[in-house]
Structure 1
Amino acid sequence: MSVQSPADWPVLAISVAGSLLLVELLRRVLSRIGRKWALARHLVERCTWAAFAVAFVVAFNLAFGPGLLGQAPAERSTASTVELVLGVLTIGAVTWLLIQATYALTDVVLDRLVLIEGEHNRRARRIMTQIALVRRVAAAVVIVVAVGAMLFSFPGVRALGAGLLASAGIAGAVVGIAAQPTIGNVLAGLQLAFSDALRLDDVVVVEDEWGRIEELTLTFVVLRLWDERRLVLPVSYFTQTPFENWTRHGSRVLAVVFLRVDWSVPVRELREALYDYLRRNPLWDQTDWTLQVTDVLPNGLVELRALMSAADSPSAWDLKCDVREFLVEYVRVNHPESLPRFRVETPESRAAAAREAPRP
């Protein structure tokens, strides 16, 4: 359709209004279907405004003709400029819609992966990380291509194309040197995603800070610490610096509690009491546990180590605190003579010990 006279403005308005009304009708249908169909729900959430933008610019572009503003040379020149701007806006709107639709499609997969628990959770988190990074890369590529198409819509840019290509080697070298850290971060992000070294929701220890991977992009990683702070690090940090990953092959963790007590502590009785307590504690995964005398310290105390397993690191931390509290309370109430005591030998005590020693 091509409008060729100023009298056809109502046709242009009707075309634009009709396209917007059609998108709104489609949105309402998908919203109703989205109660049972996840893809429809995500399309509505992601693509509504992008679809309105595409409908507006496409309808305006199709209905706008060179004679709509008038037949005078100046008016036709203005109409040509408007057509050029409409073409650029059309490319931008279609690109926006394409990216949002891609995100909506991948959101359906991510929603299903989030629900996976147990032994398959590790593989699900790896796929989630890879999807999140790949769609960011795809969006960046689409945007670059769209910007290139917008630029080549201008005749002046097309005329300069040959000269730009001739100097592309030098410009590429300069840009490559200037953007080396950024490019390194992007490559590091892809390496982390596809080497399975780091995944979303992994439990890691970085810079002596314990936390979970909350966000993993092509340039930075956001670590949510145990006290709700956020530690933001470049992706290249994780490829150049050692870090602890507590959920690399599974989420199960061993919790350790140390107790320093007097030599008079009844270890066997304490071991039985600990086992009875663990069986009643829901944080213990019913797998591993032990209580051992691991050392005799130079200050005269005995070191006991209680070890027990938990399903994940938060449970292990809570279980460790519970066990420590139980052991302290048990020793204090039932065996106060086993509380830590530091012995000091004086000349008087040495003489008293010598008098009390049996004579041969």
Structure 2
Amino acid sequence: MDSFETSILPILAILAALTGAALLTLAVRLAANYAFRKVPGFARRSAKAKLPVFGVFSLVGVRIGLSLTASGRGWFPAVEFATMTAIIVALCWLTIVTLGIGERLLLRHFTAQSVDNRKLRRLTTQITLGRRIVTALLITLAVAGLLLTIPEVRALGTGLLASAGLISIVAGLAVQSSLSNVFAGVQLAFTDAIRIDDVVVVEGLWGRIEEITLTYVVVRVWDERMLILPSTYFTGTPFENWTRNSPKIMGSVEFDVDWLAPVDELRRHLDETLAGSPLWDGRTGKMEVTDAIDGKVRLRIVVSAKDSGDLWDLRCLVRESLLTHVQSLHRASIPRQRWEHSPRDGYSPADAPRPGIELVSAANPR
């Protein structure tokens, strides 16, 4: 009978630990939901922490229960080591999940409160990258804690510390590029050089910052491709940031016409086009003659929009509108090529064409 009780006690202790962990998890969840009831979306987002919380409580309970009921068993040291390892992993998991929940709640709060898009994108970048830095440190500490639970590794601690200088030099040389990317990623996050959703031009490609990590930056190019660049690219290579201070932006449209083109009429048509387009933000809309050589007059139209996406569409609209207007009402404004006929050798003056200037359309030369 004593043998049976001795055998059943560890099982009962495990069952009691699991039951107590489930009750504690429920109590903590209810208390947290009540304490943060005024935070929108807390109950839904905090649901992801149920499993790691239960894991921590159950593992702690199992360890305590077994130490009270089976400390003298031959298998207890192995189980003790396994539970300690599992507790370290569970604590690391719980902390990482908690950081993720806090990140989402903070971002939602700032999104609802902030009206400054630039400030919001800066906070998003810093909070996201800060969470990743802390996560990397936690994983490193967890791995170190797991190694220290092994007696053989703990016994080697003195020798490792003695050779730490040499190991640091070798490791620094081996991961020099990786460490430089890590430091560059931290620099990007806290110097506000780029932010998530910034519009940039890199490697001759237009795109938006999709993700910033400790070692690389993901840029979504205009054709939906993902361009992955090391963090050091943005600290050592010049690049264009179109939304550094404000998403508002200006752009130009180049348009060639003939010398006979009615510039004032085209300018009035431009004003009508801009006034009727919701893409134009009303800041800048003008037409200027920037060149008049080689038989052509170059018009430069400068327009503005609230962001780069609207600017692209507005430039295309202005170009198409002017093209249609010229084709429909001012065909004489289409660029032409001019030749002057002169007598050639072997021809008599009577056979030579009449002197003068003849206008020949480039689209339909004679």
Asked if TM exceeds 0.5, the reply is: yes
> Which residue, out of 107, 118, 128, partners 2:104?
107
Q: How does 1:206-217 map to 2 (within 5 A)?
A: 206-217=202-213
Matches within 5 A, 1:198-209: 198-209=194-205
Paired position in structure 1 for 2:80? 83
My pick for the range that moved more, 169-178 or 122-131, is: 122-131
Shift in alpha-carbon separation, 1:351–1:227, aligned structure 2, 3 A: same
Structure 2 residue aligned with 1:236, among 232, 237, 253?
232
Q: Deviations over 1:15-38 (max 9, x none)?
A: 213312542565578679988633
Q: Which amino acid aligns with 2:148?
A: F
- The yes-or-no answer on 1:57 pairing with 2:52 is no
The alignment partner of 2:184 has SS state of helix
Matched, 1:338 2:338: no
CA contact (8 A) 2:42 2:105 kept: no
On the 8 A contact 1:255/1:320 being kept in 2, the answer is: yes
In the alignment, the residues of structure 1 paired with residue 109 and residue 357 of structure 2 have an alpha-carbon distance, to the nearest angstrom, of: 79
SS in 1 for 2:338: coil
8 Å Cα contact 1:42-1:107 kept in structure 2 = no
Contact kept, 8 Å, 2:341 with 2:356, in 1: the verdict is: no
Q: 3-state SS of the aligned residue for 1:296?
A: strand
Q: Secondary structure at the match of 1:308?
A: strand
Aligned to 1:7: 8
CA distance in 2, matches of 1:55, 1:164: 34
1:68 aligned onto 2:67: no
CA distance in 1 between partners of 2:342 and 2:112 (Å): 71
Q: CA deviation at 1:45?
A: 4.4
- Matched with 2:42 is 40
Q: 1:224 matched to which residue of 2?
A: 220
Q: CA deviation at 1:112?
A: 2.7
The corresponding residue for 2:361 is: none
Alpha-carbon RMSD across the aligned residues, in angstroms, is 2.6
Summarize the Cα distance change of 1:81–1:126 in structure 2 as closer, same or farther, 3 Å threshold.
same
Classify the secondary structure of the residue corresponding to 1:221. strand
Instruction: Select the residue among 248, 256, 260 that pairs with 2:256.
Output: 260
Alpha-carbon contact 1:261-1:340 (below 8 Å) kept: yes
Q: Deviations over 1:201-249 (max 9, x none)?
A: 0000011110000000110100011111110111111111111110111
**How many Å separate the matches in 2 of 1:355 and 1:343?**
7
Deviations 1:64-110 (A, max 9, x none): 237538x5xxxx33211110110111011011111211221222111
Find the aligned partners of 1:330 and 1:323 in 2 and give their Cα distance. Answer: 10
Q: Match for residue 93 of structure 1?
A: 90
Identify unmatched segments of 5+ residues in structure 1.
Answer: none
Q: 1:307 to 1:165 in 2, by over 3 A?
A: same
Match of 2:123 among 122, 127, 144: 127
* Superimposed CA distance per residue, residues 299-338 of structure 1 (whole angstroms, 9 cap, x where no aligned partner): x211111111100000000000111110001111110111
Is contact 1:42–1:105 with CA below 8 Å preserved after alignment? Answer: no
Counterpart-to-counterpart distance in 1, 2:357 and 2:84: 108
2:355 corresponding residue in structure 1: 353
Which residue, out of 143, 146, 157, partners 1:147?
Answer: 143
Q: Is the deviation greater in 97-106 or in 17-26?
A: 17-26
Q: Is contact 1:39-1:105 (8 Å) kept?
A: no
How far does the alpha carbon of each residue in 1:249-273 deviate from its partner, in whole angstroms, 9 at most, with x for none?
Answer: 1111112111111111100011011
In structure 1, C-alpha distance between the alignment counterparts of 2:166 and 2:343, rounded to whole Å: 90
C-alpha displacement of 1:124? 1.7
When the two structures are aligned, how many residues end up with a matched partner? 346
- Asked if structure 1 preserves the Cα contact closer than 8 Å seen for 2:201 and 2:239, the reply is yes
Distance 1:48-1:344 versus aligned 2 partners, 3 A rule:
farther
